[in-house]
Amino acid sequence: MEIVSDQQRKRIHPHKFTLWVAIASILMMFAGLTSAFIVKSNLTGWKDIDMPKVFWYSTAVILVSSVTVQAALRSFRQREMRQYRSLIGVTLVLGILFVILQWFGFKSLWDQNVKFTGSAGAGQFLYVIFGLHAIHVIGGIITLLVMFLKAFFGKVKLYSSVPVEVLATYWHFVDILWIYLLLFFIVIG
């Protein structure tokens, strides 16, 4: 009987497995897009862009939100629900602030005449890649909102930390992905 329960404890939770499959798929998509950027950037007539400073502010915001979501997970595991609610709320606000700062970054690019149209330049790739990242962040924000509402209005019968762990892992992923994309466009673009 003890052997069976040891084997069950070593198995990955289905939600965590699904998340890792999704992360692998997302990584493949962004790897393909950044590879296409590298290939296209070697063509004649390529126009580089200057990154707006607001993207650095959004980077700081998403890094702080990664810290708060990890602290929220720790609080949940320790059943400190008041602190968990506060931290998940702060993470939600920081996620929304990240998207708002991204909007200002895109507006700054537009003001620099970096448009989505044209045959040469990093603008098309930047809008597509950063836009897809923003969509994934918005998905995380929706999940944060659901977790926030559940923390205040849901009844907790079983303190399973799996949903919070999945959320935290995904949020850390979009954080690391953003840092990669920003550095990619600064170094390569």
Q: By the 8 A CB rule, do 124 and 87 touch?
A: no
Nearest residue to 184 (alpha-carbon basis) of 7, 55, 54, 12:
55
How many Cα atoms within 13 Å fall on the side-chain side of residue 92?
15
How many Cα atoms within 13 Å fall on the side-chain side of residue 26?
21
Percent pLDDT > 90 in the chain is 52
Phi, psi (5° rounding) for residue 127?
A: -65, -45
pLDDT in tens, 134-183: 999 999 999 999 999 988 887 766 678 888 999 999 999 999 999 999 99
pTM: 0.85
What is the pLDDT at residue 2? 59
What is the pLDDT at residue 121? 65
What is the pLDDT at residue 6? 58
**Non-local CB neighbours of 132 within 8 Å, separated by 6+ positions:** 29, 30, 33
**Which domains are delineated in the chain?**
2-187 (1.20.120.80)
What is the pLDDT at residue 115? 73
Q: By the 8 A CB rule, do 138 and 175 touch?
A: no
Residues lower than pLDDT 70 in the chain: 1-9, 45, 116-121, 156-158, 189
